[in-house]
Homo-oligomer: A and B are copies of this chain.
Amino acid sequence: MRISIIGSGNVATHLAAAFKNAGHRIAQVYSPNMQNAALLAYHVGAEAIDDLSHVSPETDIFIISVKDDVIGPIAETLAKHGRLIAHTSGATDLRTLLNFTSKAGVFYPLQTLSKNKEVDFLTVPLCIEGADENITRQLVDLAQTVSNNVYQVNSAQRKILHLAAVFACNFPNYLYNIAQQLLAENEMGFEMLRPLILETAQKVQTHLPAEVQTGPAIRNDENTMAAHLQMLDTKPDLKIIYELLSQDIIKNNNTGHGHG
């Protein structure tokens, strides 16, 4: 396929490279910053543009990978070319594109992507939605050329995934940060915790998290929790986080009902 990439951020960069590696032709890369557009365009053999009026209609699909609040305005500008338009946002409804074109879809990679970190794109879950069955089919076919984990997901489900990703990725990373700071304040290096963090994530690759929950809260080990809270006496923010998560683990374990 001929693919035009609108955006030059983390997702745009990884997607463009994956498409290129799968044998597709990247027609143009757009960014309002010409340096960013040129860098990505160079890597994927595309033309760089920094003005949407220079967008070429000689493409099969526009992939819009930009900040959520400019997806609509950009789609409005691109719609006149009559090509398929897909955005890559977890939190944005398909309707944002349907306001301007019926040839609309979503191509959402459920992964944390950084420009300077390689990732095996074949393992990245791609969540696909199309405005009709034909578009869904086209997008699924395209997705399957770059990933082995392709899912059809509607807008409501995709928003749940986006929320769940905050709990599964952003918040755990912040807790790693808290742990790293606790060690640093006591002259210990973060490398001591890295194997534990990796093993915790690896365990849930083959188990459900509830099956492998460990720690003082799930054992209702009140002595250890009291000792930990005392150690956090000078850190009220961490004390609240510790108490809240521990109490929720205890409660959820006792009721077995999940979160009400």
Q: Pick the interface stretch among A16-24, A40-48, A94-102, A193-201.
A: A193-201
Are A169 and B215 in contact, with the CB atoms below 8 A?
A: yes
Q: Pick the interface stretch among A117-125, A128-136, A137-145.
A: A117-125
- Residue numbers in B under 8 Å from A205 (CB-CB): 194, 197-198
Are B164 and A183 in contact, with the CB atoms below 8 A?
A: yes
CA distance A124 to B216 in the complex (A): 21
- Residue numbers in B under 8 Å from A195 (CB-CB): 110-111, 123-125, 149
Interface string of A46-90 (1 = CB under 8 A from B): 000000000000000000000011000000000000000000000
User: Does A172 make an interface contact (CB < 8 A)?
Assistant: yes
Task: Give the residue name and chain of the B residue nearest to A215 (CB).
Answer: B170
CA distance A168 to B241 in the complex (A): 13
Q: Which of B123, B192, B259 contacts A178 (CB 8 A)?
A: B259
CA distance A171 to B249 in the complex (A): 9
User: Does A214 make an interface contact (CB < 8 A)?
Assistant: yes
Are A213 and B173 in contact, with the CB atoms below 8 A?
A: yes
Given A181-B258, A231-B160, A260-B235, is A204 in contact with B214 using a C-beta cutoff of 8 Å? no
* Chain A interface (Cβ < 8 Å from any Cβ of B): 68-69, 91, 110-112, 114, 117, 119, 123-125, 127, 149, 151, 153, 156-157, 159-183, 185-188, 190, 192-205, 208-210, 212-218, 221, 223-224, 227-228, 231-232, 235-238, 240-242, 244-245, 248-249, 251-252, 258-260
24 pairs, CB–CB < 8 Å, chain A vs chain B: A111-B199, A112-B199, A125-B195, A149-B195, A157-B186, A159-B227, A159-B231, A161-B193, A162-B228, A163-B231, A168-B197, A168-B200, A173-B203, A173-B204, A173-B212, A177-B213, A177-B252, A190-B204, A194-B205, A197-B204, A198-B201, A198-B205, A237-B260, A241-B245
